[in-house]
Every structure is written in structure tokens, then in C-alpha cells.
Chains A and B, each alone.
Chain A
Amino acid sequence: MELAQLLRQSETEWWILPTGKMRVPVVIYATESLMQEMDQKVYEQAVNVATLPGIEKACYVMPDAHWGYGFPIGGVAAFDPERGGVISAGGVGFDISCGVRTLLTGLTREEILPVREGLAESLFRKVPAGVGSRGQIHLGSQEMDEMLRGGASWAVGRGYGLPEDLERTEERGRMEGARPDQVSDFAKKRQQDEMGTLGSGNHYLEVQEVRAVYDSELAAAYGIRDGEVVVSIHCGSRGLGHQIGTEFLKRMLPAAARAGIELPDRELACAPIESDVGQEYLGAMRAATNCALANRQIITHLVRQAFHQIFPSAQLRLLYDVSHNTCKVETHTIDGHPKRLFVHRKGATRAFGPGHPDIPAALRAAGQPVLIGGTMGTASYVLAGTGKGLERSFGSACHGAGRSMSRHQALRQWRGRELIDDLAAKGILIRSPSYRGVAEEAPGAYKDVSAVVDAAHEAGLARKVARLEPMICIKG
């Protein structure tokens, strides 16, 4: 990105002041080196977001941002329905409610090491991954609607997991306001055999070791111990969410025109929150969120089954489940007054600070866990939301490393088989149905996740709690 176009406010904060049709400024949180790496397209896309009706305060950009469609990935924007605010399918993304959950195993690295080959095989067999994979669950039409209304609660009711898992899931495992009647039959058909599947691309299931604790008080509050093994699951709403994204992106083009919204980019297709299309999208998007929550809950159950074959008494408690691609109704203080806003986080994590009522009671004093996914060869992080973050980014932080190289380039640079051998030599076991998929997802194709996390920490968006290093990675 051309830094001369920006106003530097601090080591980690950069502003684009409003010009032309921009209604608010853009605020980017990143270090100078991350800014230099960031696409120029992020600048253009964030400026475009800042022109949308009803946007509050600013368009915020996270340190891992990169070129998306419509919104940059790593873009956060809140809209006020009373000032003509909009909802944008491109502001949520195709993989609605894609996110991460982390389970605490209570096991140590030393306990895992002698059995890790068997554990990797068992996890790979249990959790369907990759293109064309099917789950063991087939949903008929009534059950599909119940799943779309019930989310992880539905899954727990069907025996996939424990009631206490729901306390540790955003929305307590079930997003209110889901409208299965607004989800097309096409979307439902794409999902009928995909429950409990991981998907492909950057989605993964990782067994990780807690290799560093940066804040022992917060780690203790989260139940994280140095040397302990955890399991992280990264996936989303599968075919159902993708189809909803596809259909509403198309429907929002004429809806924007009808509402007299001048779109600087077709990908920013949106509809007024209070319009029919806006309300229908919200109902469908919430149903897709429930699908993602149910999907991660079923995978949790499959992971527990795989662990129990080897460690019959392991508990695998859920630390937390967060989504990266969402739009949520939240109350934020604007000019001293509480306001109900529709907060889009696309490739960004909610990161509420200590005491926020939306955080589960057991974690409330510490602040919300923020789970940052790495790549199969690099670290992941656990952070904690801060009070400051509410003012700085509507309580949001980064979501992962963010790609720095296209899949095309990665394919030219790496061979899947060699990459798997190299990672095995470093003690990381990879299981994947596709060598090409592994090559495209090479750790070297991503930004330095540690630099991204440090920037989020420095900017005050979230506090570093622990670093997790991969031991086993199941890739789709």
C-alpha cells in the first residue's frame, strides 16, 4: 500500500481522511511493515465501504487485511438502521460464520507424542475433509429447518456434544432470528450431506501444543497451561452458507439500485437493513450462522470420539467458539449515547473486553477469548478482548495470518509431498486428501501470523495470552 496517502497516528494506526463520497474515515491498524505488504486494493475497498449509507464512525481495517470482494478481508463496519444503514452480503462473505473453536484436552505433549500417528489417522478417518466428502448425517427437510433454527443447540440435542459446550459458544450456540424459510432449496440441498464436514482451502483441524504463555492470569482464567495440548477446528457454514452468499449478492444489486444507493463496486451490493431484501438476508444469514455453529459442534463430537479411542478419560472441554464472517446486532456507545448497530466483521473476530454481558459468565472477568488461526506450519494464538477495543474497532480484532501469495504462485513454488515431508521433519504431521491442496496452503504463502498478532496487541485491539504450535493438521 502507498503509505504517502495515509495519515499516521501512531506506530500501529493509520487514517484515510474522508474525501469525495466517503462518509467516514478509514482507520487501519497495522505496523509499517504490515502496511507495506498490504494490497493497494485494501485501500480502495475500505474507501468504498466508507461511502455506504448509515456507516458509523469509521471503516476499520485489521492488521491481517487483504483484498476481498466488496469489503476487504479484515474489514469491520457498523451501520445504523435509523440512518438508512445497509446490510451487505459482501460484508459478511461467502463462508458465513466461518470461525474457529478451540478445545482444551488436559493432555500434555509427552502423552500425545507416542500415539500421534494413530491419533492423526483416527482424526483423518473420523472428520470428513476435502472436495466431494460427505458426512454421516443426512438431513431431511424438517430436520434441516430445525438445524437452521437451533445451531449448536440442535447438534447437542442430537447427542453431538455436551450442554456445557453451548455456554462457551458465541450466541450460546444458537443465533436468534434465523429464518429457514428464507434459505433456498438450492442452499438446503447443498447442505443435506455436508454436516460435520471440514471443507477445503484454509479450513483445518489441528492438534496444537501451548508453547508460550504471555499472560499467566488470563491463561489461568481460560484454563490454558503451558505444554498442554489443545485442538482447534476452523471451518464454516459449508455449501449452505456459500449458496446464500451467491444468491443474495445477486439479489442485493437491484435492491441497492431501488434504494438509490450508488455502488462504487458491484461487490458492495447491499440493501437497507429495514428493506425486505435486507430482512430476508438477515434471516438467511442467521440460519447459515446456526449451520456453522452446528457443523463445528458435530466436528467437536467426532474429535472427542477419536481422542477417546486412545485416551478414554480425556475431557476435551471447549474453551470458546468464535466466528470470523458475521453481521451482528450490537449496542455501542456513539457520542456518549447507546446505539443499536449492525456490525459487519468480514475476516475479523469479535473481541469484547472484560465485563461485557455477551461474554460467558465464566470468562467475563477476563474478556472474550479471541482465537487466531495460523497455517498448518505456523503458530496460532489465543488473545483476549480489551475494553479499549470497543472504542477502537467496535470490539474487533484480526482473524488469522492472511494470505500474502496467491494459490497460483504457491503451486509454482511448492510440491505437496515435499511440504508434508518437510513439516514431518519439524514434528508436524499433515493428513490431507490432496497434495495440490497442501501446496496451495503452504505456510509460506501466508503473512507472518506473529507479526499480525503483535500488531493487534500493540494497537490495543486484543491482548496476547498464548501461542499454540501445530503437532497434527488435518487439511481439507
Chain B
Amino acid sequence: MVRWELFHHGADMGVRGAGRSKAEAFEQAATALTGVVTDPATVAPSTVVEFTRQEADDELLLVDWLNALVYEMATRRMLFSRFEVAIEGDTLHAKAWGEAVDVARHQPAVEVKGATFTELQVRRDPDGTWIAQCVVDV
């Protein structure tokens, strides 16, 4: 039930997280975001970065969360592999653990330019699983 995956898109990449709660789905979507760039298993969770984001709508909150990670990845030259997300009402508090990009070890494939509204969904399936997904521009 708790998992992440990448899904097909013509030019870019879709990221999807699934979990028992909305927060868990957001954590998994973030892992999928790393999966666009490299294998998350190769990223050591040695440094932590904290986030707070606020949006009235769950879907915009997901885009905002992923874009916050994109920004930190770009400016800190980091990759993240472990996430802890708490969502209270319209506010997300999160921690992300990762390390600086090591080109030889991580073989990063592509930069993420930004998370988009394409295929954007935050939903709860009939079996209770939360899904958080969107396409990211690469």
C-alpha cells in the first residue's frame, strides 16, 4: 500500500506516491521525485532540511511541497531520500533527509524544472489508499 512510482508522460515524468494517509502519500510522492533523478536507495539521509507550506487546496499543497524540494535540490545541490510529512488542515510541516549530489555515485539523470498541474491528483481510493501525483517538467 505504501509505495512510489513513476508514470509515463510524453516528454516529462509523472510522480506518484501512495500511502495509508495523505501525509504518507506526500512522502512517497517526494521519494518518486528523487526517483526521477536517481535511485533513492543510493542517497544517504545524512543532512536534514525542514519545510512549512500552506495552501487551501490539497492538490496545490502537493505541487508546492514538490516545488519546495525542487528548489532545495537546486540551490543546495542535494538529493533527498527520507521524508517525514505532517499535514494539519491546510498546512504541511516536513523534514527531508539527504546528501550533496555525488555525480559518480548517484549518476543523476535529469534536473527537475518544476512540478506541474498536469495529471495532478490528491485522492483517496475506495480501499482507503491515498494517492498523490502529478507530472514534473524535466
Contacts and interface: CB of A to CB of B under 8 A. Distances in A.
Interface string B110-129: 11011111101000000000
A261 to B, nearest CB: 15
B10 A266 contact: no
Contacts of A186: 71
Most buried by A among B6, B7, B11, B107: B11
A394 interface: no
Given A41-B10, A190-B74, A249 B116 contact: yes
Interface in A325-358: none
Interface stretch (A155-163, A210-218, A239-247): A239-247
Nearest to A199: B111
A246 B114 contact: yes
B60 interface: yes
A284 B100 CA distance: 30
A67 B13 CA distance: 12
A250 B108 CA distance: 28
Contacts of B110: 131, 200-201, 407, 437, 440, 476
Interface in A375-428: 402-403, 406-409
B11 A68 contact: yes
Interface residues of B, number: 37
A132 B11 contact: no
Contacts of B13: 406-408
A105 to B, nearest CB: 29
A265 B110 CA distance: 27
A66 B6 contact: no
B37 A69 contact: no
A15 interface: no
Interface of A: 39, 41, 66-69, 73, 93-95, 130-132, 134, 186, 189-190, 199-201, 239, 242-243, 245-246, 249-250, 265-267, 269, 402-403, 406-409, 433-437, 439-440, 476
Interface of B: 6-13, 37-38, 60, 63-64, 67, 70-71, 74-75, 77, 100-101, 103, 107-111, 113-118, 120, 135, 137-138
Given A435-B107, A436-B108, A437-B107, 11 more contacts: A67-B11, A68-B11, A131-B108, A132-B108, A190-B71, A200-B111, A245-B137, A406-B10, A407-B13, A408-B7, A436-B107
19 contacts: A41-B10, A67-B9, A68-B11, A69-B12, A94-B116, A130-B108, A131-B108, A200-B108, A239-B75, A245-B137, A246-B113, A403-B10, A408-B7, A408-B8, A433-B103, A433-B107, A436-B107, A437-B110, A440-B109
